[in-house]
Amino acid sequence: MAKNDYKLGEAKIRQGGGRMRVNEKPRDFKKTIKQLLSYLRVFLPQYAIAFTCAMVSVLLQLFGPDNMRKITNLIEDGMANMHMDMPAIIRISIMVMCFYLGSSLISLIQSLVLTNATQNTMRYMRNEISKKLNRIPLKRFDTSSFGDLLSRVTNDVDTVGMSLNHAASEIVSSLTTFVGCLIMMLITNVTLSGIAIVCSLSGFFMMKIVISRSQKYFTRRQTYLGLINGHIEEMYAGHIIVKAYNGEAQSIEEFEILNRHLYENNWKSQFISGIMRPIMEFLSNAGYVAICVLGAIMVRNGTIRFGTVIAFILYVKMFTQPLGQIAQAATSIQSATAAAERIFSFLAEEEMEDESAKPSLLNDVDGLVNFEHVHFGYLPDRPVIHDFSVEIKPGQKVAIVGPTGAGKTTMVNLLMRFYDIDSGTITIDGVNTRDVPRENVHDQFCMVLQDTWLFEGSIRDNIVYSMKDVTDEQVVEACKAVGLHHFISSLPDGYDTVLTDDSNLSAGQRQLITIARAMIRNAPLLILDEATSSVDTRTEQIVQDAMDTLTKGRTSFTIAHRLSTIRNADVILVMKDGDIVESGTHEGLLEAGGFYSQLWTSQFVNAEEL
């Protein structure tokens, strides 16, 4: 089936082509720059100092060539008069050294101030982003690609920082050099200035041409690089299938095609961009030659003195670069502005309502939970829960059941007020959860979710988490209750063992830690996800026992996977396609013969036959 061989490779090109951008442009340059300036208010004095320093440093440097001219002329005079005016030469030398030293010192100050300003700007931005993260409503995180966006925001901060540090100061000093140099040259000699200007301008235009030419190959190179890396990732990740289905040949063939394309664009883009340096060098050399020859002729004619030639040799060196550097800095500022735009649009995300004014009415809660005519939808025009009401008495057990993907986490979202309901009320002990701050609601719940979230830190930190005034005894107590104490004690560092990504805790042990965390929390209400899919039989028993201990004395909402939980539940909420379609007791629901009884027979029919 040879017809097949290129298909997958083509699909990659088809799907991946045109997606890559090399140089991003901001949508609204002016607005973003303004935003950036007002955002950086605090740091503006520092930036102003830095940029002034950059300017002063360049200006001081500009005295160099002129003084070199004087020295040369003095030496020349000395040769003609057979008497070298050494004191004068030394005096000028010391003066010019002072200028250079001053220039370098000020430039050093500029670097230090600027580094300080940009790094602190970056720190500030990153902290803002981190804080913002926790003020954004949870629903934003459920839309895909949001996490993606976030991870990019961190890189964007780097881009902005880099650009503030290099590009901005580069533009300031390049402009100063350009203008200052121009003035100094024109004062010294107009003809020779003409040569320098011609060289500098032609360098600038050639640079523009080369940049625009190479852009095409760079874009393609990036595209193919992305494609080939994508292919590599895909094939390595799917290695087992490649092996099982003898797909090696096909995979290699696709790889070769992409690799070949990459090669072509690789060397072309590299070559074209590599042309830049020789051209710039040539222009600098050509300027040097022109100054030497023309200057020499003028010296012969007596129009100028030799020192002027020396000065111009130095000027040309300084003068051929700024325009090119400004061009490069401008590109970098452009992409930085695009990055800043993304950061600002993130910081402008809608936040959760500020609730600090609401009183914390929930204290010593009994655990009476009431749903009254609750309506809810994730999208405004697509309600999933229609007019749901139920009363749960303190200490009752609620089981939430339904097929996979029926939206069982919706209940968690509503109870915890991660999402606000569209209409109706949810009350705890008669208090509407919307009348108190979210934190007050959260404090009433212990929560154990299926995905056991642990962070990099010691076992103790993970269990205590953000609770205050927890004694070591309490931690040990909780671990004993969930059957973890023995295991933790056997670890070399005990409760101080640091959990890392690759730490060798089993899935069950991780789950037990989150249960212990919930115990320390000791709140009157409990949300529990029973799923223990990747746990071996023995651990599963321990985990389930721990969960049962946790349920005692609490009003509990359990995403149920065990028949015993379901059968013992005081209230069963049956979910389907996001909605709560039925609620009641096991017997009552079976009798009703609705979705629950259907589910029961299809899902557990084998059980009955055992």
Partner 1 sequence: MSMIRIIKRMRRTEVILMCCSFCLVILQVWTDLKIPDYMSEITRLVKTEGSAISDIVKAGEMMLLCAVLSMFISFTAGFVSSRLAATFSMHLRTDIFHKVESFSLEEIDRFSTASLITRSTNDVQQIQNFVSRGFTMVIRVPITVTIALIKIWGKHWEWTAVTSGAVFIVILAVIYVIKYAHPRFRRMQVLTDDLNRATRENLTGIRVIRAYNAEEYQEGKFAQANDNLTNNALQAHYAMAIMHPTMRFVHNGLNVGIYLVGAYIISSLLGTGEALTTFSEMVVFSNYAGRILFSFMSLNMIFNTIPRATVCCERLLEVLDTEPSITDGERMKGLEGEEGTVEFKNVTFRYPGTEGDMLSDISFRANKGETVAFIGATGSGKTTLVNLIPRFYDVTGGEVLVDGVDVREYDQRALRALVGYAPQRAVLFTGTVADNVDYGTSFNSYTEEEARDRIREAIEVAQAKDFVEALEDGYDAEITRGGTNVSGGQKQRLSIARAIFRNPEIYIFDDTFSALDYQTDRTLRAALKEYTQGATTLIVAQRIGTIRDADRIIVLDEGKMVGMGTHSELMKDCEVYRQIAYTQLSEEELQ
- Considering only residues 387 to 416 of the shown chain, the ones binding partner 1 according to CB under 8 A are 403-405, 412, 416
The one among 52, 198, 216, 238 contacting partner 1 by CB under 8 A: 238
Regarding 592 and contact with partner 1 (CB under 8 A), the answer is: no
Regarding 20 and contact with partner 1 (CB under 8 A), the answer is: no
Q: Length of the chain, please?
A: 610
186-215 residues in contact with partner 1 (CB under 8 A) are: none
- φ/ψ of 193, rounded to 5, equals -60, -40
How far apart, in Å, are the Cα atoms of 356 and each of 90, 196, 441, 602?
73, 66, 13, 49
- The SS3 of residue 503 is coil
Residue 336 · residue 159 · CB < 8 Å: yes
123-162 residues in contact with partner 1 (CB under 8 A) are: 123, 126-127, 130-131, 133-134, 138, 141, 147, 150-151, 154
CA-nearest of 103, 119, 120 to 55 is 103
Regarding 439 and contact with partner 1 (CB under 8 A), the answer is: yes
Regarding 442 and contact with partner 1 (CB under 8 A), the answer is: yes
Q: Can you tell me the distance from the alpha carbon of 40 to that of 117, in angstroms, rounded to the nearest whole number?
A: 10
The one among 37, 48, 187, 249 contacting partner 1 by CB under 8 A: 249
Span near partner 1 by CB under 8 A; candidates 187-195, 294-302, 330-338, 491-499:
294-302
Residue 113 · residue 49 · CB < 8 Å: yes
Regarding 89 and contact with partner 1 (CB under 8 A), the answer is: yes
How far apart, in Å, are the Cα atoms of 214 and each of 217, 269, 275?
5, 6, 10
- The SS3 of residue 428 is strand
Regarding 535 and contact with partner 1 (CB under 8 A), the answer is: yes
Regarding 361 and contact with partner 1 (CB under 8 A), the answer is: no
Distance between terminal CA atoms of the chain? 48
24-53 residues in contact with partner 1 (CB under 8 A) are: none
* CB nearer to partner 1: pick between 357 and 607: 607
Span near partner 1 by CB under 8 A; candidates 282-290, 324-332, 336-344, 588-596:
282-290
The gap from C-alpha 454 to its chain's centroid, in whole angstroms, comes to 21
Regarding 68 and contact with partner 1 (CB under 8 A), the answer is: yes
Regarding 91 and contact with partner 1 (CB under 8 A), the answer is: no
Q: Can you tell me the distance from the alpha carbon of 314 to that of 387, in angstroms, rounded to the nearest whole number?
A: 83
Classify residue 458 as left (phi > 0), alpha (psi -120 to 50) or beta: beta
The one among 48, 237, 348, 592 contacting partner 1 by CB under 8 A: 237
The gap from C-alpha 485 to its chain's centroid, in whole angstroms, comes to 38
Regarding 498 and contact with partner 1 (CB under 8 A), the answer is: no
Residue 400 corresponds to which amino acid? I
507-526 residues in contact with partner 1 (CB under 8 A) are: 507, 521
The one among 103, 188, 308, 433 contacting partner 1 by CB under 8 A: 103
217-236 residues in contact with partner 1 (CB under 8 A) are: 225, 228-230, 232-236
Least distance CB 386 / partner 1 (angstroms): 23
Regarding 84 and contact with partner 1 (CB under 8 A), the answer is: yes
Whose structure tokens read 């805790």? Answer: 505
Regarding 19 and contact with partner 1 (CB under 8 A), the answer is: no
